[in-house]
Amino acid sequence: MAVGGGDSSGSSGEDPNPRLYATNPSPAAATDQPAEEGTENGVSSIETIAHKIQESLSLNKRHRFWETQPVGQFKDLGDSSLPEGPIEPPTLLSEVKKEPYNLPALYEWTTCDIDEDATAAEVYNLLTNNYVEDDENMFRFNYSKEFLRWALRPPGYFKSWHIGVRVKASKKLVGFITGVPARIRVRQDVVRMAEVNFLCVHKKLRSKRLAPVLIKEVTRRIHLEDIWQAAYTAGVVLPTPIATCQYWHRSLNPKKLIDVGFSRLGARMTMSRTIRLYKLPASPVTPGFRKMELRDIPAVTRLLREDLSRFVVAPDLDELDVEHWLLPREAVVDSFLVESPETHEITDFCSFYTLPSSILNNSNYSTLKAAYSYYNVATKTSLLQLMNDALTVAKQKEYDVFNALDVMENESFLKELKFGPGDGMLHYYLYNYRLRNGMKPSELGLVLL
């Protein structure tokens, strides 16, 4: 199972490890004005993207590594003779390699116990200084220790899947990759998978080819648990995305966003007009809108399971999953619901997680506080109103920007609620599982951190 944001084949003519550490898109945004009616917000079909890429690459630059892996191949797109489902059958567990892969002589493997404060601080520092940046090097994701513990310890997690590389002499942590277990439904089949994330190599060591070894090692450890499929995302096109999505950004603190270069003033716009444009109500307007509590888990689980059943690919969540992923945690994940004042029925649900970015090289600001839309279900309240309430509480909590992918039904509210399209795409992939055709973002019910 190979996963990440770049071609780990060592193809000639390319950066040997282009953004392989980047399993999320650039944190940067676009013009600080909402998309006008008629703005092109769709993306090319997967087939079109694939053909363009294959045409533009000479033979010696193609994804030689990925073309040897059990992943959907560009050449097979639209081939109706190929069955959907696992590409390769599981091998016997006795045949899975028992020993870790070899590292260069100066380095050694370590299992990162994220419960230990010292280790959590090491992982935090590695990611904070070396993980995803925008193309202009103005912003870098800044995962908190609390966020990492949430992301890496879902029900049934394996500590052995939290993998680090240390320098033998100094014990400094210089590489990292993780997997967590998940049940993901693809059409009618619920499949045990790993979600692979946080692939990061120290900037000074990217010529050492550590990333491919990290990928192979997490694959080996996942296989040892008799799991043979995985889901992952990347900001670059590899063979072959099951869906290509776009981030949209809604300004909550437009003056700060413009001051730090995250966005810019729209044409013929003044700062005061821009601030007025993005003004939100003082409080949510939906009667019965409140924070989710522990007692709400069964009702929220029912709502989510019913809603997610409509999508081609979506998580299969039970009450333990909902408790872990969606019960509010300060500065990590926020969840709100609508409880009917009359019947006390839970009818609607919205959530967002917190992922700030460090602001680089700015004397006035150090952190951009960003909310990311997570899972939302609207049955009695319109999704438009529900998400406006979500924006309102995010503004109350002093977030600077609210981000959303155009997955699920999100496209229906983006323009109306003054989101603007970002400049990065996020590609979703499945390992060792074939879908004959790519999906529209609206057919995807999965949000990966």
- Which is more confidently placed, 8 or 289? 289
Which pLDDT band, with edges at 50, 70 and 90, does 276 fall under?
very high
CA distance linking residue 427 with residue 246, whole number of Å:
9
Contact yes or no for 264/282 (Cβ under 8 A): no
pTM of the full structure: 0.87
Query: Among candidates 224, 97, 228, 101, which has minimal Cα distance to 165?
Result: 101
DSSP state of 299: H
406 vs 135: CA distance, rounded Å? 22
Q: Is 85 left (phi over 0), alpha (psi -120 to 50) or beta?
A: left
**Residue 67: per-residue pLDDT:** 79
The answer to whether the CB of 359 falls within 8 A of the CB of 395 is no
- Sheet strands (E) in 127-228: 139-141, 162-167, 173-186, 189-201
371, pLDDT greater than 70: yes
449 catalytic, yes or no?
Answer: yes
Half-sphere exposure of 313 (CA within 13 A, CB side): 28
Of all residues in the chain, the percent with pLDDT exceeding 70 is 84
Closest CA to 325 of 300, 288, 289: 300
3-state helix, strand, coil in the chain (%, to 5): 30, 25, 45
Residue in 127, 417, 430, 449 annotated catalytic? 449
Across residues 349-353, what is the average pLDDT? 98
State the pLDDT at residue 60.
Answer: 41
Residue 401 burial (CB count, 10 A): 25
**Domains in the chain: ranges and CATH:** 46-243 (3.40.630.170), 247-423 (3.40.630.170)
**CB of 160 closer than 8 Å to CB of 111:** yes
Name the least confident of 64-78, 150-164, 329-343: 64-78
Alpha helices by DSSP H, listed for 293-382, are: 297-308, 319-326
* Strands annotated E in 210-345: 229-234, 243-251, 289-291, 313-315, 333-339
Q: What is the DSSP string of 36-71?
A: PTT-------HHHHHHHHHHHS-GGGS-TTGGGSSS
Position 140 confidence tier, pLDDT thresholds 50, 70, 90: confident
pLDDT digits (tens, 9 = 90+) for 300-325: 999 999 999 999 999 999 999 999 99
180-236 pLDDT, tens digit per residue, is 999 999 999 999 999 999 999 999 998 888 988 998 999 999 999 999 999 999 888
